[in-house]
């Protein structure tokens, strides 16, 4: 299928639209493991493997930008064992996938407050961002220690500094957006949440103000590229008016 890129969607032959930017709340890893009598971290490891499959599938589905919610500011409330295990999974994933991301033309970036993450993980994140900075086939953004309210608070502080410095006199929405972690990223066209939960869980509240949403009962480790393709097909049937008639 041949795709023509638009400002916010990809348009296939015949006029079917596909979202250029898909954001995913990857939920259900722990439940998936519990249903099988396995430790929660087994589910998180399987979920990390699923990320790789979805990343590989996105370009052929017309998706240029993929943003995934890996660890929220609220996830620190989980057990110490689970949190430490997740951080280890993140480190291993970045180390293991760095070469493959580069070879496949994937640009990888991170959003969220990095200061609370351990130094080794921060260094790995910065390294893969630099290594993949020139790639253009797919833009992959991973939200780690991310919370939408936290991002808005930090962005507001940056904006206040610019106002105090005299750089801005009458702040606009664009000025605030430029201070956010996602500065320079297009807003998501479609947000997907797996596992049957129907909450947005503090994920991209500013950026997703006009996004379409899809809630699927499928647990993240079971979410295949075929599941994604069917959701993208349904997206093509929606009419997006952005407040217009």
- Looking only at the bridges linking them, the beta strands covering 17-19 and 138-146 are unpaired
Whole-number Å distance between alpha carbons of 155 and 128: 24
Closest alpha carbon to 203 in 143, 119, 134: 143
Catalytic (active site) residue 226: no
91 carries a ligand binding annotation: no
Q: Is 230 annotated as a binding residue?
A: no
CA–CA distance, 142 with 122 (Å, rounded to integer):
13
The answer to whether the annotation marks 185 as part of a ligand binding site is no
Cβ(95)–Cβ(128) below 8 Å: no
The reply to whether 32 sits in an annotated binding site is yes
C-alpha to C-alpha distance for 203 and 150, rounded to whole angstroms: 10
202 catalytic residue (yes or no): no
196 carries a ligand binding annotation: no
Catalytic option among 27, 64, 181, 189: 27
User: Would you say 151 is a known binding-site residue?
Assistant: no
The catalytic position among 64, 75, 181, 202 is 75
Collapsing DSSP to helix, strand or coil, 83 comes out as helix
Residue 173 in marked binding region: no
Q: Which residues are catalytic?
A: 27, 75
Residues annotated within a binding site for substrate: 28-32, 40, 44, 72-74, 76, 78, 193, 199-201
Residues annotated within a binding site: 27-32, 40, 44, 72-74, 76, 78, 193, 199-201, 212
Residues annotated within a binding site for Mg(2+): 27, 212
């Amino acid at each position: 299928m041949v795709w023509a890129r638009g400002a916010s969607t990809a348009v296939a032959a015949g006029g079917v639209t596909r979202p250029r930017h898909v954001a995913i709340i990857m939920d259900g890893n722990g439940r998936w493991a519990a249903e099988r009598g396995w430790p929660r971290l087994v589910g998180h490891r399987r979920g990390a493997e699923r990320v790789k499959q979805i990343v590989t599938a996105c370009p052929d589905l017309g998706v240029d930008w993929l943003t995934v919610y890996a660890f929220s500011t609220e996830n620190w409330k989980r057990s110490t064992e689970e949190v430490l295990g997740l951080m280890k999974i993140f480190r291993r994933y970045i180390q293991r996938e760095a070469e493959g991301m580069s070879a496949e033309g994937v640009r990888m970036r991170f959003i969220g407050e990095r200061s609370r993450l351990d130094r080794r993980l921060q260094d790995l994140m910065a390294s893969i961002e630099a290594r993949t900075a020139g790639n253009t086939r797919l833009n992959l953004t991973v939200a780690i220690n991310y919370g939408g309210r936290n991002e808005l608070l930090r962005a507001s502080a940056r904006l206040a500094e610019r106002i105090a410095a005299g750089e801005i006199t009458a702040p606009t929405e664009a000025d605030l957006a430029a201070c956010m972690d996602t500065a320079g990223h297009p807003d998501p066209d479609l947000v997907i949440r797996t596992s049957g939960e129907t909450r947005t869980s503090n994920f991209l509240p500013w950026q997703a103000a006009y996004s379409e949403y899809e809630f699927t009962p499928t647990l993240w480790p079971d979410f295949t590229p075929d599941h994604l393709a069917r959701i993208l097909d349904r997206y093509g049937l929606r009419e997006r008016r952005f407040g217009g008639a």
